[in-house]
Structure formats: C-alpha cells, structure tokens
Amino acid sequence: MKLVCLLNLFLLSSVPLLSQGNFPFSIRIQQPDVIASVSNGAVLTFNVPQGRSESLVVNLTYLGSGSVNFASRPDLLGSTAFELIDVPAAPIQLSNGQNYRFGVRYTPRSSALVSSQITLPYTETLTAANGATSTATGQLLLQFNGTSPEFVVSYLTPELVNVTPLAPGAPISFPPAPVNGTATYVISIVNRGTGAGELRSITLAGEEFSIAGLPLLPLNLPAASEIRFNLRFQPNSAGTKIAQLTVTTANGSSTFSIDGLGFEPRFAYELISAEEVRTINPGETISFGEALPGETATLQILIRNVNPISTTLPTISVFGTGFALSENPGTRTLRPGESVGFFIQALVGQIGSQRGRLRIGDDAFDLLLLGSGAQLRYSYSSSGSGSINLPANGSIFFPASVIGSPKTSIVTVRNSGIAEANIINISLSDVNTAFALTDLPTLPARLAPGGELSFGIRFSPTAAGTTSVTLRVDGTTFTLAGSASALPALPRYRFTLSSGPVPALTQPAIGIELLEPYPVAVNGVLSLLQEASGFVNDPSVRFANGSQSINFSIAANSRQAIFANGSSFIRFQTGSVAGDLILSATFGAGGAILPDANQEIVRMTVAPGAPRILSFFVNQAANALGLQLTGLTTSRSVTKLDIELTPLDGFTLAQTKFSIDLEGESFVWFRSSQSQSFGGIFTLQIPLFFSQSGNDSSAQVSNLIQSIASVQVTLTNESGSSSAASVSLR
C-alpha cells in the first residue's frame, strides 16, 4: 500500500501549486521505505483502503544561510481524514542544514475523494555579508488528497438485466436448473472507490458450481473499473446444492453463500389426432392407425413445460423410414405451463407395420404406422432345417436326392399385412416333373392378418441329374430345383411260390421278398400271364383285385412287398384251363424303372386232366328226367358221358347203362366264342325220355320215372374219366 501511496504522491506532486523561486527549504516526504522530494505547493495523494491509516513525514531542511523561524505549528485545513502528528512545539528556529519535521496521517472514512491543505508560515532572517539583516516571510504549502478503493460484488441474471449487489455474506441464489443443464450468473466486481485497489483472489468451494472467465489474479483494479466472470451452476442430480464464493481484495475478504436447486426437467405431452386428444407418456407407442401405401398420416404432439422454471426444449427428432417432423419448435424456451406443438408425418411405404421412434430429449416414444392391405411372406423348411425366408422369385433347392427317395419341403405363406388375403392358385408350371405339391389347402384360401397356410413340395427324382420347375402362388413365382444321383441296382428277390404243377379251381397266395433290403422305397407290379394249352385263356385267371396285375410296394430299407390289399400276400385264381400261369414282377423307384438283371418268374402249370363233375342235378317230369351237370375239363374237351340208371326193385329197364358220345358236340362248344367266357367249365343238360313196352310191373306205374331209384353219371375225355356223380331220386 505504501508504494501505491507514494506513487500517487509523486505523480500528483508534479503539479506544483506555488512558485519555488525563493523557498529556502527542501521538502522531503518520508515513509518508512521511501523518501521523495517535492516542491512547495505540491499535491500529495493518499490511497488507503478503508479501515486502515497511512502516514508520512514531511521533512523540511533549511537551505539558506540565515536562519528561519517557525512561529507556530503547521495549520491543517480541510478533511478531517487527515491529521498532523508529531508536530514539534513552536517556535522553532533553524539554521542552515537544520530540519523541521512533522507527520501527516490519513485515515479514510469512506471511499470518497477528500482533500486537505497544510500551511506553515516562516520568517527567514538573512545576514548579508555586510552584516545587514533582512527578513523575509513565506509559508510551506502542501495539499493532500485522500482516496480509497471500494469493491462491490454483484451478480447479473443471465439476461444481464438485473444487477443484484451483494453485501458480504449475502447469498447468491440460482434459479432451479435442470439436471445436467446449466444456470449461469455473471459475477461483477466493481471498484467504485476513488483509488485503485488490489483484487487478490476469488475462490469457490463446492461441487456442481464453477467459475469461468476469471482474469489472472491478483490484479490492481483502478477506481471505477470492473471485472466480470461467470459463475455456473451445473447440477448433476436433483436437489439443493450449496457452495461458497470468497472474494479477497485489499479491503479484505468477503464470502458469499451460493445455493441452487437441481431438478429433473419434465414435459407433458399430448397427442392430438382427428379422433382424440389424450395425454401420452414417454415409452408409449404412438399409433398412426392404418393407411394405404403412398398415403400420409399426420399427428400433432403438444409439449407443455411442467417445470417450475422456464425450460428450454430439448432436441426433437424422429427416426424410422417414412416418419418426418414438421413445424419443429427447435430448442426454444418454454415458460412454466407454456405449450408448443409440432407435427409428425408418416408416409406409408409398405404393407404391414412400419415402426419409428420420436425422441424429445431423453423422452422417447415408439411410432407405429400400419400399411393397409395384405402382404404375403414366404418361407420354407426342409427336414432338419429351420425356417428359411423365401423372397419372391427366390429358389428352393433340393440337394443330392436319391432317385426314388423323395425329399419334402414345407412352404409356409404368412400374411404379415393387416388385411385378409386370398390365395386362389398354387401350382407348378409343369406337372410332369419330379416335383409335386402335397397337402395343398382347399383353394381359394383366405388368410387373415397374421394367418398362415402351408403346403408341401415333394421332390421325387426319377432320373439322375438336375431339374427345375416354377412354383406359382397366384402372381408370385419361385424356382424349385433339385438334383439326384442314380439308383443302386435292384437286389435279387424271390417269390413265395415255386414253379410247378397247380390244380385248377384253386386260389393260391403269392408274395415277393427282396433278398437284401433296398435303400429307397420300391414300387412294383406283379403280373399274371396265362399261356393256355388250347390257346383259349380262362377269364377267371385273375388276382383278387380282379386284374391280371397288382401293384405292390416295398418300404425303404425293407424287404417285404406289400400289396394293394395291405397284405404281404395276394391270391389269384388258377382257373379252369390247362396251361401255364406265369407270375413275374417289375420294379421301380421314384417313377423310374429299376433294371432287373436277375429276373425271377414263377411258372405254374395246370395240367390237362380227366373231367370233374362239379354239380349234378336231376329234374323230374312225368316221363322224363332232365340231367343237369356242371363240369370241369381243363383240356376243354369231353368225349363221353356215361349214364347209369338204377331201377327200383321190381322194375326192369331196357337199358340201365348207356354212353353218349360228346366228342363232336364238345368240340363245337369249346370252339365257340360263347364258351370262352367260361374256360373249362361247362353245363350240360341232357333230357331222358321214358316209355313203356311189354307187360311187367312198370306198366302199373303211370309216372315212369318213379321206377328210377337213382341216376349216376361219369364224364370222360382223352385224359380219363371223372368220378361218378349220382343223384338219388327216391
């Protein structure tokens, strides 16, 4: 402070108030560490902080050759902030080189500029060389100014509108600030005193507050000048926060308490649509409803500041294809209770759901827009694989199949749209390929939103190589492609019947068995061929299914053939005609014929034999018998019919045995086309007419056939005779 004081003193002393022409003194101003010479009439300035005092010593050294007399003490006129001290008692006489000292002390009462003037009259007596004595009077005149710095701390609101002076210890209360937001006051330190003052330090104690823009300290702040810096409040969490700001100047230290309230900023939201106005909360889904592709749906969102202070809107943004903001209010500040709105426009780009997100600061809302209409999505799965998406014009590949070993994929059609879909047609571009559709739903099929239908695609390659076909689901197409390797060779097999003789009119059963299992499913046909000895086949030579061929199947990796009747055996009729019955089989897999390098056949032979009488009846009339017999002759020939009548006791027949030659008639019959429908089975009706002659007991019988006890017949052909068949008439 002394330096400051003297510096000012010297500066001001350059403005002498009086002429120095005959002033016989040198004037020194002494402070403990400084001595300075000034002229008479100088203006000396003190700059002392309030509450303190500064003093100096005025030292007059008489430079004349005479003597000088101070008759009185110095006279001080002016501000009472100045006072004389250590003034010697008057009068005092000085001779050359002697000194006169007194002190001046300045104790500022305020920071106002004060002045005072010191006068000290003197009388100089000079003695000339001639001894003459002369006197002269004069006076010492010194003027003192007193200054003092005065620091005032105040803060300004962010808008720099209101300046609030702070008394020492006064609080600095920040307005509520949002968590992670910033509230700033400008702190002003003004030296409104009359002298410069030292600003030594500014310190801040407390978290979540900070200082910015502070000049390098310490610094000397001239009177009527100011420094400013920012005091920031940045709450990290909600709640009341406190700190202390200490300002140290030449005048001393002042501490100010700081407080601020941190809060979580909050806004209320309202959704305004044509249908409703309702409050929405962060995390909710804002639905735009349904619209057709190409249409735009618009909703308005109203934001209301529900915070206790004006709050700046956070950034508003939307994400998601088709969603856009309009009339975005930006980051403007809303007063408490104030609202502002903006619009979200959603352009339907596709059928189905379209999702986006609205973000307002930390608040987020899901956006949902439904594109009206049906939308079919396709997928497929194969054995051992999960579901695979199938785009339109995509492909399903069936790799490395074996001929005869079908592979299946399941195609699923899902309506991911929000309207019902109708599927009219599911088809293949070519039905004569290895691909086939299975388990087709009834078409047309309706698919509700979220519904799905499935159908199968079976790839049953019939030849080695690659093949492809187009699958159509209404207007959408897909490529089906597959490849297959060649089939392994058919193993040997056997029939359960052996070649050899077989009786006519029998129904044997036959089965087929592979000697080794075959890796893929086999389909086959068992055929029955008749080679009749007489070149006329018997139409009754059939399998039980009524045909001369019957399908069978052999499951993959098995050996036993299963026929269409579900059994491992199938029966057939051997018929009624001599000849060979040839049973053979063909095999295939997956629609391809399996070459049979070791073909087996069963050749069964119905031998020509003697006739058999299957049934024999006798119809009786008064004098006639009608013989009706049904017989079998595998050679389709009958040469003779023997008839034997047995009369009742007491009756005599002219002839009891007789033969009928049937060779010619048999030949005619069995060569007729009519007979060919019956093979070797025939019905023969022969009437026998009775008449009476002579005179015996039979004459008493009006009904002549009552004389016949029984009739016996025997058929004969080139191989022999049948067993006799008889009918008893009584």
Binding-site ranges for another protein (CB under 8 A): 504-507, 538-547, 571, 573-576, 614-615, 617, 624, 630, 632, 641, 645, 647, 651-655, 658, 660, 662, 665-666, 668-669, 674-675, 677-679, 681-694, 696, 698, 704, 707
For another protein, the closer of residues 302 and 688 by Cβ is: 688
Question: Comparing C-alpha atoms, which of 619, 621, 643 is closest to residue 690?
Answer: 621
385 or 691, CB closer to another protein? 691
Alpha-carbon distance of 224 to 26, in angstroms, equals 36
Residue 244 or 527 with smaller CB distance to another protein: 527
Tell me the closest approach of the beta carbon of residue 643 to another protein, in angstroms.
Answer: 8
Instruction: For residue 279, give both structure tokens.
Output: 């409050």
- Provide the token pair at 392: 């339109």
Least CB distance to another protein at residue 607 (A): 15
Question: With respect to another protein, which residue has the nearer C-beta, 177 or 681?
Answer: 681
How far is residue 26's CA from residue 99's CA, in Å, rounded to a whole number? 9
Q: What is the per-residue burial (b if ≥16 Cβ within 10 Å, else e) of 420-437? A: ebebeebebeeeebbbeb
CB nearer another protein, residue 261 or residue 704: 704
Distances (CA, A) of 611 to 42, 554, 636, 716: 179, 42, 9, 6
Closer residue to another protein in complex, CB, 207/665: 665
Length of the chain: 730
Least distance in Å: CB of 530 to another protein?
Answer: 12
Nearer to another protein (CB atom), residue 178 or residue 575: 575
Nearest to 48 by CA among 134, 122, 109: 109
Q: Is 264 left (phi over 0), alpha (psi -120 to 50) or beta?
A: beta
Q: Which is nearer to another protein, 312 or 605 (CB)?
A: 605
Shortest distance, position 441 Cβ to another protein, whole Å: 29
DSSP state letters, 376-412: EEEEEEETT---EEE-TT-EEEEEEEETTB-EEEEEE
* In the complex, minimum distance from the CB of residue 603 to another protein, in angstroms, rounded to a whole number: 19
The distance of closest approach from Cβ of residue 469 to another protein in the complex, given in angstroms and rounded to an integer, is 35
Nearer to another protein, 130 or 691 (CB): 691
Q: How far is CA 557 from CA 464, 514, 553, in A?
A: 20, 10, 12
Whole-Å CA distances, 127 to 54, 124, 341:
41, 10, 103
Nearer to another protein, 115 or 676 (CB): 676
| Sheet bearing 352-360, strands edge to edge | 285-291, 363-371, 352-360, 316-319
Chain centroid, CA 278 distance in Å: 29
CB of 601 to another protein, least distance (A): 22
Least distance from another protein to the Cβ atom of residue 540, Å: 4
Closest CB 414 distance from another protein, rounded Å: 40
Using CA atoms, how far apart are residues 717 and 720, in angstroms rounded to an integer? 5
Nearest approach in angstroms of CB 500 to another protein is 18
Strands (E), 306-434: 311-312, 316-319, 323-326, 333-334, 339-347, 352-360, 363-371, 376-382, 388-390, 395-402, 407-415, 421-423, 426-428
512 vs 645, beta carbon nearer another protein: 645
Smallest gap from residue 456 Cβ to another protein (A): 30
- SS3 of residue 625 by DSSP: strand
**Residue 612 DSSP symbol:** E
In terms of CB distance, is 661 or 718 closer to another protein?
Answer: 661
Q: Which is nearer to another protein, 338 or 665 (CB)?
A: 665
Q: How far is the CB of 701 from another protein (least distance, A)?
A: 8
Exposure b/e, 107-117, CB count within 10 A at least 16 = b: bbeebebbebb
Tell me the C-alpha distance between 476 and 395, whole Å. 12
Closer residue to another protein (CB): 483 or 692: 692
Q: DSSP characters for 477-505?
A: EEEEEEEEEPPPPPPPEEESS-SEE--TT
Helix (H), strand (E) at residue 250: none
CA-based nearest residue to 512, from 583, 461, 433, 409: 583
Distance in Å, CB of 631 to another protein, minimum: 9
The alpha-carbon radius of gyration of the chain (Å, integer) is: 70
CB of 529 to another protein, least distance (A): 15
